[in-house]
Amino acid sequence: MALGRHICFAKSSACLSSPSLSFLSTAAHFLQPPNLFFSHKSVKSPLAMLARVSHVARFPGFRRCERSLLHSIRCNASSSAPQTSEKPESKNSRNPRVSEGGRRKKSAEVDSTSSREDIRTLRLKKVEDLRAGGFEPYGYTWDRTHTAAELQKQYVDLPSATEANEEKDHVAVAGRIIARRVFGKLAFLTMRDDSGDIQLYCEKAKLTDEAFDQLKTLMDIGDFIGAKGTMKRTEKGELSVLVGELSILTKSLLPLPDKWHGLTDVEKRYRQRYVDMIMNPDVATVFRDRAKIISEIRRHMESLGYLEIETPVLQGEAGGADARPFVTHHNALGQDMYLRIATELHLKRMVVGGFERVYEIGRIFRNEGISTRHNPEFTSIELYQAYADYDDMMNLAEEIVEKCALTVNGSLSLTYQGTEISLQRPWKRASMHSLVEEVTGINFASFGDDIEAAKNAAVSFFAGHIERHDTGTILKAPSIGHLVNEVFEMVVEKTLIQPTFVMDHPVEISPLAKPHRRYAYQ
């Protein structure tokens, strides 16, 4: 049986366990409802009274009454389920009327009777009220002086119960409200921007009456706001902006997922990544790390003299891989076109044209199955070098992964699902045949072209295997090469934990590959 190898100007494709290089990367509408905390002196509207009554009422039929009122009352009070976070830093937080337990219980009751459409209707009313008062709820610009992370770093040594109010301490910040606490003449807002969180300390004495009323009645969790003021560290040690000016920059219309349960629906987390990033800030780290990896790959390739090429996405003929393409239609040309399934062919033409080292980081589209291991569209890197073979490509793959790991993690060791992974060079290199034989004890090369004998040996192995496997694909394999690949994917691939180059794939599954030099003249 013939084995395949890559052509003289070496190519990268497939996965990191293959003899050539591929980097695949796949790669959050909900807005949080406001709080409903009122002191006995601050209940000024029917809906505010409803929020307070809902905390204490226990008589039968009240929940139906509450639902009816939510549909009918339109007012300026906060209008939906409260969100809770850490205990506020004020002596008023000890007030039993606003205890932590009371806030959580009230949240569950109001949540259970408020639909998303109710919330949206009430927030649209707030948008109208803001405009009626001469305020634009969707601002145009905001001159920010610091991010949250910059303030945390700059004022790390500011002592507790201290205010920094010199000219240089006047700051302007902007971000999304993720927590909100209002207690009489004092309010705490937790604001999150791209870099992190910062607390806003809002005293009525520091703000205009109009601004403080807006904070209490028109600002909700999920709104984007801008704040100006000086820096203060509270008695409990929380760095805060002592707010002197507060503006709504973007008014939210829909609630975020409940804080206490979070966004747990796996499918929704993938389909609405922006919501996932709001509720789980650590998710954004994946996007930042990906950007660092792409930048490091480009830097390294350029340092080696590679030229980045951009090849067509729409192609008249799908080629360069064994995959089903997406088909579209070009109206002007009156013909069907294909989204590319690989960048291979056009990059090879660049080598034919005289460029000795080329690469492309591009989007690939394959109209096939969807799983955690396969996405219909993904990003890959393919690179080609004249006068080189797959040994050179494996060396280059090790270099690139090593540099990316150091850039992102600062180390060549990492822990994944409790297992220590070492990216230290050199990595293990083994042929697909030898790895299959190592796990199954079957030397498929010894069967020559006797496909039936090879299938029988494979089925016998799986029959005595502890894990149950569907051998249907084994019996349908058209050649020994396809059979070896099926067995590899079923039982061998999952055993490869440390970085491994799987070499010398069967020629039957290696389109556009030359025969291995070992068998080229046999």
Residues in the chain: 522
How far, in Å, are 163, 477, 500 from residue 217 at the CA level?
28, 68, 60
DSSP structural state of residue 490: I
State what percent of residues in the chain have pLDDT above 70.
75
116-250 is classed CATH 3.90.1510.10: no
Give 49's contacts (C-beta < 8 A, 6+ positions apart): 43
Instruction: Report the C-alpha gap between 59 and 74 in whole angstroms.
Output: 25
Helices (H), 416-471: 432-440, 451-463
What's the confidence (pLDDT) of residue 466?
Answer: 59
Of residues 446 and 268, the one with the higher pLDDT is 446
Q: Which residues in the chain are classed under CATH 3.30.930.10?
A: 284-417
Q: Quick one: average pLDDT of 141-164?
A: 96
Least confident window among 92-96, 159-163, 287-291, 381-385: 92-96
CB 394 within 8 A of CB 501: yes
- Distances in Å between the Cα of 82 and the Cα atoms of 99, 110, 256, 277, 380 are 13, 8, 11, 21, 45
Q: Inform me whether the pLDDT recorded for 74 exceeds 60.
A: no
- Encode pLDDT of 477-494 as tens digits: 999 999 999 999 999 999
Which pLDDT score, from 0 to 100, does residue 259 have? 62
Task: Specify which residues 3 forms β-bridges with.
Answer: 506
pLDDT of residue 513: 79
Whole-angstrom Cα distance, residue 59 to residue 311? 70
Rounded to an integer, the average pLDDT of 494-511 is 92
Assess contact for 178 and 190: CB atoms under 8 A.
yes
Apex 284 CA angle, 279 and 289, nearest 5 = 160
With b for 16 or more beta-carbon neighbours within 10 A and e for fewer, the 446-462 pattern comes to: ebeeebeebbebbeebb
Report the run of H or E that residue 421 belongs to, with start and end.
strand 419-422
Output the pLDDT for position 374.
80
Closest CA to 401 of 384, 424, 432, 374: 424
Q: Between 134 and 105, where is the model more confident?
A: 134
- Does domain 284-417 correspond to CATH entry 3.30.413.10? no
CATH 2.40.50.140 location in the chain: 116-250
Is the pLDDT at 43 greater than 90? The verdict is no
Is a pLDDT exceeding 90 seen at residue 111? no
pLDDT at 515: 83
Which positions ≥6 away from 452 have C-beta within 8 Å?
none
More confident call, 284 vs 229? 229
pLDDT of residue 468: 67
Alpha-carbon dihedral 451, 455, 457, 463, rounded to 10 degrees: 180
What is 37-72 written as a DSSP string?
A: ---TT---SHHHHHHHHHHH--STTHHHHHHHHHHH
For residue 433, count other CB atoms closer than 10 A to its CB: 22
Tally of CA atoms within 13 A in the half-sphere of 421 that contains its CB? 15
Strands 377-385 and 357-365 turn out to be antiparallel
Look over the chain and give the mean of its residue pLDDT values, rounded to a whole number: 80
Q: How many distinct helices (H) and strands (E) make up the chain? A: 15, 19
CA distance 458 to 474: 8
pLDDT band at 53 (very low <50, low <70, confident <90, very high): very low
Distance CA 14, CA 395 (A): 16
The predicted-structure confidence for 387-410, as pLDDT tens digits, reads as follows 999 999 999 999 999 999 999 999
The pLDDT tens digits of the residues spanning 432-454 come to: 999 999 999 999 999 998 999 99
Whether 76 shows a pLDDT value over 60: the answer reads: no
Asked if the model's pLDDT at residue 273 lies above 70, the reply is yes
Q: How many CB atoms are closer than 10 A to CB 62?
A: 15
Q: Which residue has the higher pLDDT, 261 or 290?
A: 290
Region of residue 518 (phi > 0: left; psi between -120 and 50: alpha; otherwise: beta): alpha
pLDDT higher at 265 or 80: 265
> Cβ(398)–Cβ(426) under 8 Å?
yes
For 210, other C-beta atoms within 10 Å of its C-beta total: 11
* Residue 428 β-bridge partners: 500
521 pLDDT band (50/70/90 cuts)? low
* Band (67; pLDDT cuts 50, 70, 90): very low
The pTM (predicted TM-score) of the whole model is 0.70
